[in-house]
Structure 1
Amino acid sequence: MRFFTVFDIVKNKAGQLGHTEEEMYAYLKKEKINKKNLLAYQDSGIIPTDEKVLNGILNYLDMSKVELELKLGRIPAGFEDVFLNNTKEIAKILEERNSVQQEEQNPIPEIQPYYSSDLGKLYNGDCLELFKLVPNESVDTVFADPPFNLDKEYDEGVSDKNSFSGYLDWYFKWIDECIRVLKPGGSLFIYNIPKWNTYLSEYLSRKLNFRNSITVDMKFGLPIQNRLYPANYSLLYYVKGDKPKTFNVQRIPLQTCPHCGREIKDYGGYKNKMNPNGVTLSDVWSDIYPVRHSSSKNRKFNELSVKLLDRVISMSTNEGDVVLDPFGGSGTTFAVSELLDRKWIGFELGNCEIIKDRLEKKEKDRKLFEKVYEEKNKLFPDKVKELRKKNGLWIDDDFRSDSETEQETNKKANKRSGKINYDQIQLTLK
């Protein structure tokens, strides 16, 4: 699927007519359309609502509004029946073109991994080329954190500056590859700013089963003038097929005041019914914090937290399953996959040496991982529990039997001995 804007279509027409950009704007000026009027449709798929601007553009394009809408990839309002009544003819055209494209497909490239471990392989290169290495329906979960098209340079020669339509066109291409390699029931997670995920959600909902739109509550650096202050990232969660083949419930601590330990939400008479393993995770994640401290970062630019990837991978896979990340970045997906004993496949266009170094020196990630599990699957972490005891507040032990309390004590003893049972996850610290 190609994504076009009105601006793209006008520029394409100018190319067909042999017009320079200056000549194009000169013609539109005769139609009382200035450069600013046209640039307003450079970063949006909408059609002008101003009749004067719309008619001027249509005159330059020498087409009707209906044809313009078709060029934009949509069925014009009122023409749905015409489209549906001619599907046989449309399908014939598409099938003929598809057969030609299949004949022209390139062979699978022979590319050696940049780095290999017992669990995974990391490849250095363009994901669209590297996806050819991955067989159909061979991956359990795909997690993708693509460049956000914010004109940043991540590594030398690797930037994310693209046109609005160019970015979405590229986006849809690698998304199709993600869908191809996913197993039936496999999970797809896409992490991006809300702007881009709104376009992607429309595209994905035609091909996969929507599960959740997760809001990751995280403050950006500075407010943006004349806009609401951006305070979240978007994490789309889709499944290939009717339902996920794996969904492991994730639990988090009850939200409490950091000073007195009192719960933020009053659960009244239901305290004795609270699950001692914590509160079921919702689709708003307010406990994921940006990786900013130099002691935790592996790269100078934004890096995903171990907690975020642990949550995604633990929720959607079991031990031995395959996780793929087409935009390796700093390697967080691969580091967490290693710690959770998942197989993994990784692509990265930029500096892979940083990822390799991280995977060979796991101590930093082990410490971060331990910190995550100090709070995971617990109604009250140990520090909060002590604070609540001190202030005379209830804790889950008040409603548990002696045998349940003994099991919890044994779990802590295992942790102190060096072998940590993370609720069905065995991690031996080396």
Structure 2
Amino acid sequence: MSSAKVFHINNLFKILGIHDTNELTYVSRKLRISNKELQYYNDKMIFPTGKVLYSILKYTGYTEFELKVRLGIIDNKIIEWIAENPEFILKNYKERKEINSNLTKPIFETSKGRLYMGDCLDVMRCIPDGHVNMIFADPPFNLNKKYESGIDDYISEQEYINWTEKWILECIRILAPGGSMFVYNIPYWNTYTSSILNKYLNFRHWIAISMKGLISVRNKLHPEHYSLLYYIKGDKPLVFNKQRIPMATCRHCGGELRDYGGKKKDLDPTGLSVPDIFTDINPVRHEKYKNRQANELPVKLLYRIISMASNEGDIIFDPFGGSGTTYIVAEYLNRMWIGSEIGSVDDIITRFNNKSDEELLKIIEKDSNVLFTEKQIKIRKKNGFWGYEKLTKYKREVCKEN
């Protein structure tokens, strides 16, 4: 056994017989390609071109077509050929059927929800087809972070994508027609996730969630958002409750940050339409609001999308429980919920028992679907800025009431 460092082995390294740095150096010399360049094509799973491609084809003896197939890079030309000649695939392909697990009783229950401790794939295999109305998934980001569960959060890129496809396909199976699915991840991984979802569900939005304070990356644009994919099962969503948010104003003087000109009188008193860039969602960093040491989802994010994509009594499923934010918000909004968490669920149970989120959720509820929050009205009035009395729609409603 070589003592050389073992690293991520994706399809390219498998084809070239590379399992450690010694073998990488040997093959690189044979191909006359630098270690760094060869590792780039392996790690990024990008199909090589030019001299690199020619060297690999010569070394392996493959045609370009065969190399693409072996790497799992199936372009439209290959897809068209398979569709026109399915017998070459079907006569040799044997579908592997997963057997349903014997799921144990929930480790925690409320009147509205059930939480299971275990692998989300095992849990989902016991859920009937089309059973849930909305799914929210916040999977591990494969960034080598430590989780209490001890799961490996730094598997190879190919393994991560293959695993992602497995749990996504199960989610699609249990999602009801017209149901909504949301996947929260860093933009890099969601580009791969969207390519999976595009084959089975209907794309609605790529939502950018602004997150200030993300660490800068050398020689790249400064990252300031996470991505939230929003898909539906079918042509139209069964539920879409339009959400509205307060106008963005200066926290010091109360003045509006955007110039509405002469159109301000036409604004809706119930607030502005939510855009596909969420600038008002703040990361949970203060210890006062955190329920665990690892990263935690903002309550406001789950409140918004659960309110938007489901109704009371609908079933919400979250395969990656984490700190339980999805379940807490679903419970508050009178939704039914099913959850799974492979690691410790102590933080989730504690959170339900101490009801620490209720006060925050009441504030979020009060400050939703209004043009100005009470705090905004107070500071704007103090500094002479206009309020609801300026709005045409608001004046009409007041007249009707009187």
So what's the TM-score if we normalise by structure 2?
0.91
Alignment partners' CA distance in 2, 1:276 and 1:245: 27
Matches within 5 A, 1:243-322: 243-322=236-315
Per mean C-alpha deviation after superposition, the further-off stretch among 182-191 and 84-93 is: 84-93
Distance of aligned partners of 1:176 and 1:378 in 2 relative to their CA distance in 1, 3 Å threshold: same
Cα distance, 1:354 vs. partner? 0.9
Within 5 Å, which residues of 2 pair with 1:191-230?
Answer: 191-230=184-223
Equivalent of 1:11, from 7, 10, 13? 13
1:93-120 deviation digits (Å, cap 9, x = unpaired): 44xx12xx23xx4243131211011111
CA distance in 1, matches of 2:57, 2:167: 33
Give how far 1:29 is off: 1.3
- 1:419 corresponds in structure 2 to none
**Matched letter for residue 109 of structure 2:** S
The 2-side partners of 1:77 and 1:276 are apart by 49
Q: Given the superposition, is the C-alpha separation of residues 120 and 48 from structure 1 closer, same or farther in structure 2, using an over 3 Å criterion?
A: same
* Cα distance, 1:87–1:26 mapped onto 2, change above 3 Å: same
- Show the counterpart of 2:365: 373
Q: Match for 1:26: what amino acid?
A: Y
TM-score normalised by L of structure 1: 0.85
Show the counterpart of 2:3: none
Deviations 1:187-231 (A, max 9, x none): 000000000001111121111000000000002442111111110
Q: Percent identity at matched positions?
A: 44
Note the 1:27-426 alignment, pairs <5 A.
Answer: 27-51=27-51, 53-75=52-74, 82-94=81-93, 97-98=94-95, 101-102=96-97, 105-155=98-148, 157-362=150-355, 364-399=356-391, 400-401=394-395, 404=398
Whether the aligned pair in 2 keeps the contact of 1:218 and 1:231 (CA below 8 Å) is yes
* CA distance 1:38–1:343, change in 2 (3 Å): same
Secondary structure, in 3 states, of the residue corresponding to 2:44?
coil
Please state how far the C-alpha of 1:47 moved relative to its aligned partner: 1.4
State the SS of the aligned residue for 1:133: coil
CA separation of 1:50 and 1:374: change in aligned 2, threshold 3 A: same
- Map Cα deviations across residues 5-45 of structure 1 (whole Å, 9 max, x no partner): x9633433355xx9876346424412213422321123212
Query: Mean Cα displacement is larger for which, 398-407 or 253-262?
Result: 398-407
Q: 1:425 maps to what in 2?
A: none
CA-atom RMSD, angstroms? 2.3
Match of 1:411 in 2: none
Q: Verify the 8 A CA contact 1:313 1:337 in the aligned structure 2.
A: yes
SS at match of 1:90: helix
Structure 2 counterpart of 1:87, which letter?
P
Cα gap change, 1:220/1:258 in structure 2, threshold over 3 Å: closer, same or farther? Answer: closer
Matches of 1:56 and 1:344, distance apart in 2: 54
Aligned pair count?
Answer: 392
Is this contact kept in 2: 1:66–1:76, CA < 8 A?
no
Q: Is the 8 A contact 2:214 2:224 kept in 1?
A: no
Q: In the aligned structure 2, how far is the partner of 1:84 from the partner of 1:12?
A: 28
Please tell me the residue identity of whatever aligns with 1:283. D
Distance between the aligned counterparts of 1:79 and 1:106, measured in 2? 32
Over residues 353-401 of structure 1, what are the superposed CA-to-partner deviations in whole Å (9 max), with x where a residue is unaligned? Answer: 1101111221x20111022123211101111112222222221134434
3-state DSSP of counterpart to 1:11 = helix
Specify whether residues 81 and 283 from structure 1 end up closer, same or farther in structure 2 by C-alpha distance, changes over 3 A only: closer
CA distance in structure 2 between the aligned counterparts of 1:373 and 1:19, rounded to whole angstroms? 54
SS of the equivalent of 1:13 reads helix
Q: Partners in 2 of 1:169 and 1:79 — Cα distance?
A: 20
Instruction: Give the Cα separation in 2 of the matches to 1:82 and 1:266.
Output: 55
1:23 and 1:73 map into 2 onto residues whose CA distance is: 23
Q: Alignment partner of 1:155: what SS?
A: coil
**CA positional deviation for 1:133:** 1.8
| Residue 272 (structure 1) shift | 2.4
Shift of 1:92: 4.7
Q: Does the residue aligned with 2:176 lie in a helix, a strand or coil?
A: strand
C-alpha deviation, 1:75, in angstroms: 4.1
